[in-house]
Amino acid sequence: MQGNASRTVRSLLQLCQHPPAFPAAANRWFHAAAVRLSSDRQGQEQPKAFDSALLEFLVCPLSKKPLRYEESTKELINEELGIAYPIIDGIPNMIPEAARMIHRKAQDEESKHT
């Protein structure tokens, strides 16, 4: 029994000394989060911006397709469905009921005329 415990402790120590590598996108996200936290501690008031590195992980909850970030409106856009998810204080609101319809109807009418 004691042999199993010592093997477990050795395994945990090895993991602490040599942690598994994160994907590059996760490292960028963690670095950006650490920078934001450190700047918050310094008392600097900065507007919360959306971290575009999250686009590698976020998809539309309805279609499961990638989203496009529109900086001017601070929204995540699903071109296929014609909906926009709002970003509030740097946090995307991915609830479908919170999304708004965008220019999808105009695109459909143009495709009917061609």
Kindly report whether the global pTM for this prediction surpasses the value 0.75: no
**pLDDT over 80 (residue 54):** yes
The answer to whether 49 and 71 have CB atoms below 8 angstroms apart is: no
Report the percentage of the chain scoring pLDDT > 90: 39
What domains are there in the chain, each with its CATH number? 1-46 (no CATH), 48-114 (2.20.25.10)
CB 38 within 8 A of CB 46: no
Q: Is the pLDDT of residue 20 over 80?
A: no
pLDDT at 46: 59
At 82 the pLDDT is: 94
